[in-house]
Amino acid sequence: MIKQFDTYSLLPHNTFGIEAKAAHFVEFTSVADICNFLGNGFNGKSLVVGGGSNLLFVNDFNGTVFHSAITDIEVVAETDSDILLRVGSGMNWDELVAYTVEKGWCGLENLSLIPGEVGASAVQNVGAYGVEAGDLIETVETIRIADAVVCSFTKSDCDFAYRHSIFKAAEKGRHIVTYVTYRLKKAVDFKLSYGNLKDKVEEFGGATLANVRRAVCEIREAKLPNPEQIGSAGSFFMNPVVAAHKAAKLKDEYPAMPQYPLACGDVKLSAGWLIEQCGWKQTPHKNVGVYKHQALVVVNLGGATGSDVLDFALAVVASVKEKFDVNLNMEVNVID
């Protein structure tokens, strides 16, 4: 089924809570429907939205916004050790995680409570607590917007890296994700080394899938705003990566600075720490600020426009550049 609307409010489709309108909005529940729609000569400006948890609308969108409502879920292969689970791109992400935990399939539990939908997990390569969606993804199926051709990308085609995939680079804006297939494990293989996750899991009685999910949910709830209550898009910026010599210089000057050496020799810094040091937890600007428990999260304090948020974010970037000579890149996709 296809649903089509004109002059459509995007308020329910962006977790920042920004009022913006799409000239056209198209929602579909099957591959055949969206293929037919695109095959009938569509050639306008387009944008694909999932849960809208990584988007900032600065203006109304003068084109067609596509939203997948494909939500079926199917085990497509099973071995003694693995499950291949093919999931519709419109399924709510956390509902998928809850489902896999309930089934006793291991892999997604550290990614509990991330807002958004399944399609975006492949585009953004969402990650938390030492796990990235790309680690579990086997294939991504899409429809190419230009010619309505069905495409399939293997894990290596997807070119996953930290908050990165081919869908944010060479193939950006060209595809609508329809299905994502995840390889999950029947035997448990917990990843508990991030922060205080292991301690939290112990507090709940030890490592089980349900306890890991519960611990991740609790940690997230304490640090990150609930998008249903406070408008935000989760981490607004990516954690910056700098050369080792630069990291060493910064550490001399700021001994408390968190630093995470990467296998390639570079060092990842914590954007939240850098932003907090610039004083932004104390200085909201108009109706935009950073979240009190996590400075990496820019929040709409009520009634902010997309431009208000963008101006604030640019001021944050400038301050971090000035104080630390470090460039922050946005994780959020700014649509204008």
Told to check if 258 binds ligand EPU by CB under 6 A, we report: yes
Nearest approach, Cβ of residue 120 and ligand EPU (Å): 11
E strands in the chain: 2-9, 21-28, 46-49, 55-57, 61-68, 73-78, 82-88, 127-128, 131-132, 137-144, 149-154, 175-185, 231-235, 241-242, 259-261, 267-269, 288-291, 294-300, 333-335
Dihedral angle of Cα 244, 162, 334, 94, to the nearest 10 degrees: -140
Q: Which of 294, 300, 305, 319 binds ligand EPU (CB under 6 A)?
A: 294
For ligand EPU, the closer CB: 28 or 93: 93
For ligand EPU, the closer CB: 120 or 177: 120
Nearest approach, Cβ of residue 296 and ligand EPU (Å): 5
Active-site annotation holds for 331: yes
Catalytic residue among 132, 163, 232, 319: 163
From the list 122, 147, 63, the residue with the least C-alpha distance to 336 is 63
For ligand EPU, the closer CB: 22 or 201: 201
Q: Which of 65, 295, 309, 310 binds ligand EPU (CB under 6 A)?
A: 295
Active-site annotation holds for 213: no
Site for ligand EPU in 204-233 (CB under 6 A): 223-224
Told to check if 313 binds ligand EPU by CB under 6 A, we report: no
Alpha helices in 172-305 (DSSP H): 197-203, 209-223, 244-253, 271-277
For ligand EPU, the closer CB: 20 or 126: 126
Site for ligand EPU in 260-289 (CB under 6 A): 270, 272-273, 276
Told to check if 330 binds ligand EPU by CB under 6 A, we report: no
Active-site annotation holds for 144: no
Reported as type and span, the H/E element at residue 190 is: none
For ligand EPU, the closer CB: 26 or 197: 197
Q: Count CA atoms closer than 13 A to 336's CA, side-chain side.
A: 8
Residue 177, C-beta contacts closer than 8 angstroms, at least 6 positions apart: 48, 68, 89, 118, 119, 120, 122, 123, 140, 141, 142, 167
Binding mask 148-187 for ligand EPU (x = CB under 6 A): ----------------------------------------
d(CA 113, CA 128): 10
Which residues lie near ligand EPU (CB under 6 A)?
Answer: 128-129, 194-195, 223-224, 234-235, 238-239, 258, 270, 272-273, 276, 294-296, 331
List active site positions: 163, 235, 331
